[in-house]
Amino acid sequence: MPVAAPAHGPIDASLERASREIAEQPEDQQRWAHRAELHRVHEDWAAAHADLDRAEALAPDWPDLDFYRARLLLDQGEAAGAEQILGPWTEVQPSHAAAQALRGRALAELGRGRAAAQAYTRAIRIRANAGLYLARARALGAEDLATALASLDEGIAALGPNPALVRTAIELELARGDFEGALQRIQSQIEAPGRRDPWLVERGEILERAGRGAEAAQAFEAALAAIHVLPEARRLVPATRQLEARSNAGLARLGDQSL
Evaluate if residue 224 carries a pLDDT over 50: yes
Say which residue, 79 or 13, is predicted with more confidence: 79
Alpha-carbon distance 97 to 176, whole Å?
31
Say which residue, 7 or 186, is predicted with more confidence: 186
pLDDT for res 257 = 73
Mean pLDDT of 109-127: 95
Read off the pLDDT of residues 28-55 as tens digits, 9 standing for 90 and up: 999 999 999 999 999 999 999 999 999 9
Q: How confident is the model at residue 3 (pLDDT cuts 50, 70, 90)?
A: very low
- Cα 194 to its chain centre, rounded Å, is 23
Domain boundaries, the chain: 70-177, 182-259
Read off the pLDDT of residues 134-150 as tens digits, 9 standing for 90 and up: 999 999 987 789 999 99
Mean confidence (pLDDT) of the chain: 92
Q: Nearest-CA neighbor of 48 among 65, 62, 63?
A: 65
Read off the pLDDT of residues 60-74 as tens digits, 9 standing for 90 and up: 999 899 999 999 999
Cβ pair 137, 149 in contact under 8 A: yes
Read off the pLDDT of residues 155-210 as tens digits, 9 standing for 90 and up: 999 999 898 999 999 999 999 999 999 999 999 999 988 899 999 999 999 999 99
Helices 9-24 and 29-41 cross at an angle (nearest 10°) of 160
Please tell me the CATH code under which domain 70-177 is placed.
1.25.40.10
pTM confidence score: 0.83
Evaluate if residue 5 carries a pLDDT over 80: no
